[in-house]
């Protein structure tokens, strides 16, 4: 499955960039192969349009923002967040901008400090993260970078309790315990699943400090939730009582590139674990995943017979089934193919 062939994926929210990136002017992003321009409107809310001017196709993201509108760099036509051209400097006296002078507008909103975009009407809302409203937790924005892989490979990796002992053997993985200690998978309906699993991990010095673990070999209780199509919430509990929630969102740029947006919530303080210390260790772990995931095939198989499987792929299996179901075109009567009359001369 190549993602840009899956029209249904346009019906979901995706985080595309931190809001802070928009304060210096319009920015471009490619979502599922669609070039979009994002900027902040007059109310400071993010807006998203097709990144192609309706006049001579110049990229609006190379323009500027004036009075809450994005202004094309070529002839300075201005477009509002609805996509309508609202100002043409060249308009002759007494004339108004024709109503059909417009570019496609996309749904866009701010959540958790990020701009989220849906190319069509979203089927489900942006996942709720209760810790974002809980004053006992701090948010740490960790990563925002492009990888050469596809989104479902990252989701499966997060649901894969069999990869730690191998992929992360240089950091947190305990190669002597390749299987999870517990594994409880729950179907949460068409757009979500939950996996509760305990794994044996190692805690190198930095990680022992970051997680206030006493021993080098410890356990990590992982509550992993998948939200359709590609948001993963990794809720980690350590014996010290520390809670660490990782939101990992591999946003699909095109068939073989993703933007990895990762932000965390922790119930400790900067004095206990500094942001820099946390990020330097998480960087190491993330690079181990990246190294392997960039070597996988971005043509993601949805059927179960193309690849071999093992016990720890059960959650990934459930994810594949649910994604397949979500992306299946539901034929409505008016979408059924028209029957062609039989040619009797054949």
Closest CA to 149 of 289, 35, 266: 289
Helix spans in 62-104 (H): none
- Site pattern 268..307 for Fe ion (x: CB under 5 A): ---------------------x------------------
Which partner, Fe ion, ligand FES, none, binds residue 72 by CB below 5 to 8 Å per kind?
ligand FES
In the complex, what is the shortest distance from the CB of residue 301 to ligand FES, in angstroms, rounded to a whole number? 42
Which partner, Fe ion, ligand FES, none, binds residue 289 by CB below 5 to 8 Å per kind?
Fe ion
In the complex, what is the shortest distance from the CB of residue 183 to Fe ion, in angstroms, rounded to a whole number? 16
- Residue at shortest CB range from Fe ion: 289
DSSP 244-307: EEEEEEEEE-SSS-EEEEEEEEESS-TTTS-HHHHHHHHHHHHHHHHHHHTTS-SS---SSSSS
In the complex, what is the shortest distance from the CB of residue 59 to ligand FES, in angstroms, rounded to a whole number? 9
CA distance 39 to 198: 43
Phi, psi (rounded to 5 degrees) for 171: -125, -90
In the complex, what is the shortest distance from the CB of residue 293 to Fe ion, in angstroms, rounded to a whole number? 9
Which partner, Fe ion, ligand FES, none, binds residue 55 by CB below 5 to 8 Å per kind?
ligand FES
Is the separation of the CB atoms in 248 and 158 below 8 Å?
A: yes
In the complex, what is the shortest distance from the CB of residue 63 to ligand FES, in angstroms, rounded to a whole number? 8
According to CB under 6 A, which residues from 48 to 67 bind ligand FES? 53, 55-56, 58
- Based on the shown chain and the rule CB under 6 A, indicate whether residue 72 belongs to the binding site for ligand FES: yes
Is the CB of 60 or the CB of 286 nearer to ligand FES?
60
Query: Is the bond preceding residue 229 a cis peptide, omega within 30 degrees?
Result: yes
What is the pairing mode between strands 258-266 and 243-252?
A: antiparallel
According to CB under 6 A, which residues from 146 to 205 bind ligand FES? none
Closest CA to 155 of 331, 19, 14: 14
Binding site for ligand FES (CB under 6 A): 53, 55-56, 58, 72, 74-75, 77
**Contact positions vs Fe ion (CB under 5 A):** 289
């Amino acid at each position: 499955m190549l993602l840009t062939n899956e029209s249904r994926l346009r019906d979901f929210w995706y985080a595309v960039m931190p809001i802070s990136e928009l304060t210096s002017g319009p920015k471009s992003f490619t979502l599922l192969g669609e070039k979009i321009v994002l900027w902040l409107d007059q109310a400071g809310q993010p807006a998203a349009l097709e990144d192609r001017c309706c006049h001579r196709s110049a990229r609006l993201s190379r323009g500027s923002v004036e009075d809450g509108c994005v202004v094309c760099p070529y002839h300075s036509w201005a477009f509002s967040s609805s996509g309508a051209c609202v100002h043409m400097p060249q308009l002759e006296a007494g004339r108004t901008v024709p109503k059909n002078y417009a570019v496609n507008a996309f749904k866009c909103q701010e959540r958790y400090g990020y701009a989220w975009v849906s190319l069509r009407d979203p089927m489900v809302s942006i996942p709720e993260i209760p810790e974002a409203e809980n004053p006992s937790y701090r948010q740490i924005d960790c990563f925002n970078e492009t990888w050469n892989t596809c989104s479902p490979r990252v989701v499966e990796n997060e649901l894969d309790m069999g990869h730690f002992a191998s992929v992360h053997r240089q950091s947190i993985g305990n190669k002597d315990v390749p299987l999870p200690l517990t594994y409880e998978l729950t179907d949460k309906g068409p757009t979500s699943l939950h996996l509760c699993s305990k794994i044996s991990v190692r805690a190198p010095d930095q990680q022992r400090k970051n997680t206030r673990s006493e021993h080098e070999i410890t356990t990590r209780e992982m509550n992993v939730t998948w939200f359709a199509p590609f948001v993963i919430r990794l809720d980690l509990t350590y014996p010290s009582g520390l809670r660490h929630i990782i939101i990992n969102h591999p946003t699909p740029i095109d068939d073989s590139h993703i933007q990895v947006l990762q932000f965390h919530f922790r119930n400790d303080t900067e004095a206990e674990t500094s942001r820099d210390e946390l990020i330097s260790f998480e960087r190491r772990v993330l690079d181990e995943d990246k190294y392997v995931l960039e070597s996988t095939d971005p043509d993601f198989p949805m059927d179960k017979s193309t690849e071999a499987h093992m016990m720890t792929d059960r959650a990934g299996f459930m994810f594949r089934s649910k994604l397949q179901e979500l992306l299946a075109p539901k034929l409505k009567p008016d979408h059924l193919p028209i029957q062609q009359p039989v040619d009797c001369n054949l």
